Amino acid sequence: MNIDLSRRGFLRLAGAGAAATTLGAMGFGAAEAAVQAHVRDFKLATTTETRNICTYCSVACGIILYSKGDIAAGETAELIHVEGDADHPTNRGTLCPKGAALKSFVKSETRLTHPRYRAPGSDRWQEVSWDEAFDKIARALKDDRDANLIERNEQGVPVNRLTTTGFLAASATTNETAWATWKVVRSMGIVGFDNQARV
Ligand code: SF4
């Protein structure tokens, strides 16, 4: 029989069974049964695990978010624990102090959870929907590209450069996402492109 068991799953099983099997090997059968009857579930056993990437820096460590609450049943999922992902090749379960404090970041009262827009000449920000934000960005980018794309240089060589719009990408992305972002930005001719790894 094949058993598909991750390293974390193996450790969880091994920890729960260690005390009982040790007693059993010493001949304390009844004691083993009593231990097994009183083994409590781990606090994280009933949570939902969501894999993600730490938002802070370009190392992009793998994390696991543990939340309670069934979203499919209309409940609000509440984050109760964050830890490093032992199966992630970048950090193999480790986190630096910033990553280890991610739960505080997620639950911070000052964390922005919606896009904000400041109209030209205004001194205040207003909350907008994601659709509205994407529409504004697309409109501004298209208008700027139509007006300012440099198709040829002084020697008449095709260059297709857009130097009046810049793009700043996040570091908390996978290689695949970073590759796709690069392709999209360069396909529009944008020259000023950087990501958070250099911030
Ligand atoms: S855990 Fe630390 S090293 Fe890893 S991505 Fe987050 S901030 Fe960077």
The pLDDT tens digits for 152-196 are 999 999 999 999 999 988 767 777 788 888 899 999 999 999 876
Are the beta carbons of 79 and 105 closer than 8 angstroms? Answer: no
User: Residue 29's domain spans which residues?
Assistant: 7-38
100 Cα to the center of ligand 1, angstroms: 8
Number of domains observed in the structure of the chain: 4
The answer to the question of residue 2 being in a domain is no
Residue 94, domain member (yes or no): yes
- Assigned domain for 161 exists: yes
- If residue 164 lies in a helix (H) or strand (E), which one and from where to where? strand 158-169
Cβ 57 under 6 angstroms from ligand 1: yes
Q: Flag whether 183 is in a domain.
A: yes
190 close to ligand 1 (CB < 6 Angstrom): no
CATH code (residue 88): 2.20.25.90
Q: What is the pLDDT of residues 75-94, one digit of tens each?
A: 888 999 999 999 999 999 99
**How much distance in Å is there from the Cα of 174 to the middle of ligand 1?**
14
C-alpha to C-alpha distance for 192 and 141, rounded to whole angstroms: 13
